[in-house]
Amino acid sequence: MQNQKFAVVDLETTGNNKNKDSIIQLSIVVVQDLKITDQYSTFLSDETELTPFIRELTNIDSSMLEDAPKFRDIASRVSGLLDGCIFTAHNVEFDFGFLQSAFKSCGIDYQPNHLLDTVELSKIFLPRLERFQLNEIAQALGLELSNAHRADEDARATAELLIHLLQKMMTLDTETLKHLYHLSKPLKYNLSDVIFSIVAESRTGDAEGLERHGDFYIRRKKGERRKMEAATVGELYDRYIAHSGRRYRTEQLRLANEIFEALEQKENLALEAYTGVGKTIAFLIAVISFHSLYGQKVLISTSKKILQHQILIEDLAALEAAIGMPIPAVALKGRENYLNLDAFKLLLSLEDNNTEIIQLKMKLLVWLLETDTGDLSEIHLRGPERAYYRTASIQAGEGAGHFFFNRALTEAGHATFTLTNHYFLIDCIDHLPDIDTVIVDEAHQLKRSLEERMKTTFSYQAMKFFIGQIGTPGQERLLANYISHNDATSVYLLEDILKHLNQNIDKMFTAIEARNSSDLLHHIETGIRHTSTFLGAVRGTRNYQVIYNHMHHYQKMLNALGTAIRQDRYVLEGNRNLQKIKVHVQQEDMASLRERAGHIKATIMLSGTLEVNGGFSHLDYWYGDRPFKSLIVQNENLFGGTKIFIPEDIPAYDINDDDFIAAIVEYIAVYLSETGQKLMVLFSNFELLDKVHEYTADVQTFEDFVILRQTRMSSSEKLLSQFNHLDRCVLLGTSSFNEGINMQASGTKCLMLTKLPFPVPKKSDFRNFYKNDLPEAVFQFRQIAGRVQRRPEDRGLLLLFDKRILDRKYRNAFLKYFPSENIIQGDGESFKGLLRDL
Fold of 642-837: Rossmann fold (3.40.50)
> How much is the pLDDT for 746?
65
Alpha helices (H) along 311-375: 316-323, 341-349, 355-367
Rounded distance, CA 41 to CA 26, Å? 6
Q: What is the DSSP letter of 51?
A: -
Which own/partner pairs from 46-49 qualify as long-range (CB within 8 Å, at least 24 positions apart)?
46/22, 46/70, 46/71, 47/14, 47/21, 47/22
> How much is the pLDDT for 432?
92
Equal fold, 457-586 vs 642-837: no
Q: What size, in residues, is the chain?
A: 838
Q: Domain boundaries in the chain?
A: 5-206, 335-432+445-453, 457-586, 642-837
Of 418, 385, 446, the closest CA to residue 618 belongs to: 446
> How much is the pLDDT for 616?
87
822-833 exposure pattern, b = at least 16 Cβ within 10 A, e = fewer:
bbbeeeeeebee
Q: List the beta strands (DSSP E) in 340-469.
A: 417-421, 437-440, 455-459
**Adjacent-strand bridge partners of 375:** 338
> How much is the pLDDT for 346?
85
Of 84, 154, 92, 151, the closest CA to residue 117 belongs to: 92
**DSSP per-residue string spanning 631-700:** EEE--TTTTTTEEEEEESSSPPS-TT-HHHHHHHHHHHHHHHHHH---EEEE-SSHHHHHHHHHHHTT-G
To 5 degrees, how large is the angle CA 2–CA 132–CA 180? Answer: 45
Rounded distance, CA 122 to CA 289, Å? 43
> How much is the pLDDT for 788?
72
First to last CA, the chain: 59
**Arithmetic mean of pLDDT over the chain:** 87
Neighbours of 504 (CB within 10 A): 22
> How much is the pLDDT for 768?
62
Question: Which segments of the chain have a pLDDT < 50?
Answer: 761-764
CB-based contact 268:624 (threshold 8 Å) = no
Rounded distance, CA 636 to CA 818, Å? 8
> How much is the pLDDT for 46?
84
pTM of the model: 0.72
> How much is the pLDDT for 778?
77
Of 358, 416, 507, 374, the closest CA to residue 229 belongs to: 416
Rounded distance, CA 777 to CA 753, Å? 13
Rounded distance, CA 106 to CA 360, Å? 40
The CATH architecture one would assign to domain 457-586 is Up-down Bundle (1.20)
> Which CATH superfamily is 5-206 part of?
Ribonuclease H-like superfamily/Ribonuclease H (3.30.420.10)
> How much is the pLDDT for 385?
84
Pairing type for strands 115-117 and 437-440 reads unpaired
Rounded distance, CA 441 to CA 438, Å? 10
Residue 136, phi-psi category: left (phi > 0), alpha (psi -120 to 50), beta (remainder): alpha
